[in-house]
Chains A and B, each alone.
Chain A
Amino acid sequence: MNDYVITVATFAAIQAIVACGLNVIVGYAGQISLGHAAFFGIGAYASALLTTKAGLSFWAALPMVVAVTGLVGLLLGIPSLRVRDDFLAITTIGINFIVEAVFLYVPFFGGALGIGNIPRVTLFHMRMKGPSYLILCLIFLALVLLLCRWFTRSWAGLACFALREEETAAGGMGISPVRFKLLAFVAGTATAGLGGALYAHFMRFISPGDFSFPVSVMLLSMIVLGGMGTQWGPVLGAMILVSLPELFRPLMEIRFLLYTAILLVMIRFQPAGLLGEASLARRVLAKAAPRGTGR
């Protein structure tokens, strides 16, 4: 593997982590979010600030970063409880624009220039870069996938599925909508925070534009393309949407157009996602598949 492939793969792994977090909110709990990049950004900024300004190591900062992002997710999740469906979609877009504006306009966050000179992650005195950082990201991705699997098999996860399907009935089964929606929000945003931290120390320079609304769209597209609420959907979606622009790189000028065209064609003709129900892949695998949990 050359450096270029490793870079793309690392980025895809990070995006997959963030998309898994979004999958908890949208796929499991059914709460549409178009502002997930804001929490990706909060994680990145928190880690960047803690390591550059406060002088902490990546590992010391990480628990704080995840906690802070989850806490902000909790705070911003509370107003989101009041609205649903399309109102929720637009509210989360608003959250994304406002958070980006805060990064851009509050001098503490470095303004349009962002934050640079973010240190590399070190482990046992080894500075992680290239292949070793890719492996680190893959380990975190595996951890997130295990947590997701555990969550879908927990009562809390089942409560989220029930809320997604039929909120009134779920209430009648003893499920508090507030508690479990917020739980999904916190779990999803904290995961985005982890992804953000990995991103900051991978790029070593971050600016507000990295976490703008189109990034949220891309993240939602990943889980929709891969298969909403499925275990591997976010990973597949991230792999496709991160690698496509790279594969098209030789096409120069028209590569972004081709990319949006493919996104449109996929969503138009496979709206349930590549691993979703009734999808091509599902029908082929149908015979071997064990009893499903989520959708």
Chain B
Amino acid sequence: MKEILLRVRDLAKHFGGLRAVDGVSFDLHVKEILGLLGPNGAGKTVCFNVISGVYAPTSGEIYFAGRRTDGLPPYRMAALGLGRTFQIVKPFANLTVLDNVIVSCGVDRYKNLLRSFGSWTDARTRHRAMELLEKVGLERDADRKAGLLPLGHLRRLEIARALAVGHRLLLLDECFSGLREEEIVPLMDLVSAIRRDGLSVLLIEHNMRVAMKLSDRIVVLNHGRKIAEGSPADIVRDPVVIEAYLGRGGHGHAA
């Protein structure tokens, strides 16, 4: 058996009467790309937010990197090597693009108050952040203010920041949406390369073609529950999945 990095058991998150996530379980292996799919409102992003610590779960358990992590705040999850992007991009608008990435290079500095008094303006940090920017193709925008970038660039900035934080797991929340075709291919290559470097990826994706091509396995949610799990080839043939997508007005941009 492959080593398990993230284990989610009976996870539930209710908002008042709304059961956004309702008893979801799945495993994510080391060096695996797992796609999290489902129609709009299926609970994917809420699931992400519970795993990354933005919400405490109503019930259920999460194990990450060998320890139980449900209820830990986001900054603790980041310190454990979980990097994430946000579906609605959240740049540090008044900082430069480079400084945005440098912020996320400080994960282990923020853990210790004394170490957080060290300088971030040294050449090594700058060099590392530049490398990350080159990976996502933003090196030429390094000195621009992040708030001035177009959406496609901001999505890539989000990935660069998540890469700096997540040395174990990346949660990518629809990071391909709003990108042009010629931007998508290099980014897919990047995600594949990340996995080869030893990282695991949990992916929410609306673009079916991207999800099918990138994912090793796929988990499909609907109404907060898991309705299918399997290889991309199995998923596209699963009648329950087809029903869930087509029955709700055809969200599937079929493969």
Contact = CB atoms under 8 A, between A and B. Distances in A.
B116 A174 contact: no
Contact of B95 (A154, A156, A161, A175): A161
Nearest to B80: A174
Contacts of B119: 153-155
A173 interface: yes
A175 B92 CA distance: 13
B18 interface: no
Interface stretch (A105-113, A129-137, A164-172, A192-200): A164-172
A161 B92 contact: yes
A262 to B, nearest CB: 28
Interface string A251-295: 000000000000000000000000000000000000000010101
B143 A173 contact: no
A165 B95 contact: yes
B109 interface: yes
A171 B74 contact: yes
Contacts of B164: 173
A180 B106 CA distance: 13
Contact of A172 (B84, B116, B120): B84
A159 interface: yes
A176 B117 contact: no
Nearest 5 CB-CB pairings of A with B = A165-B92, A174-B78, A174-B107, A171-B74, A169-B90
Nearest to B111: A174
Nearest to B94: A295
A162 interface: yes
Contacts of B73: 171, 176
A179 interface: yes
Nearest to B101: A173
A171 B49 CA distance: 12
Interface string A139-183: 000000000000001111011011001101111111111011001
Contact of A169 (B91, B107, B121): B91
A117 B93 CA distance: 51
A172 B116 CA distance: 17
Contacts of B32: none
A169 B86 contact: yes
Interface in B56-90: 73-75, 78-79, 83-84, 86, 90
Contacts of B92: 161-162, 165-166, 169-170
Given A173-B107, A174-B75, A155 B120 contact: yes
Contact of A156 (B116, B121, B161): B116
Given A173-B165, A174-B110, A291 B75 contact: no
A162 B75 CA distance: 13
B52 A175 contact: no
A165 B165 contact: no
Contacts of A180: 110
Nearest to A166: B90
Given A172-B74, A172-B84, A172-B165, A165 B94 contact: yes
A155 B78 contact: no
Contacts of A176: 73, 75, 110
A172 B110 contact: no
Given A171-B74, A172-B74, A166 B111 contact: no
B116 A154 contact: yes
Interface in B164-213: 164-165
B52 A155 contact: no
A156 B103 contact: no
B79 A153 contact: no
Given A168-B86, A174-B75, A176-B73, A155 B94 contact: no
24 contacts: A155-B115, A155-B119, A156-B116, A158-B102, A158-B103, A158-B120, A161-B99, A161-B103, A165-B91, A165-B92, A165-B93, A169-B91, A169-B92, A171-B73, A172-B83, A172-B84, A172-B86, A172-B165, A173-B104, A173-B164, A173-B165, A175-B106, A179-B113, A291-B143
Nearest to B165: A173
B249 interface: no
A172 B104 CA distance: 8
Nearest to B89: A169
Contact of A154 (B74, B79, B90, B118): B118
A179 to B, nearest CB: 7
Most buried by A among B91, B116, B162: B116
A161 B121 CA distance: 14
Contact of B78 (A153, A158, A173): A173
Given A173-B161, A175-B75, 16 more contacts: A154-B117, A154-B119, A155-B117, A159-B110, A161-B92, A162-B92, A165-B92, A168-B74, A170-B103, A172-B84, A173-B103, A174-B104, A174-B108, A175-B106, A179-B110, A183-B113
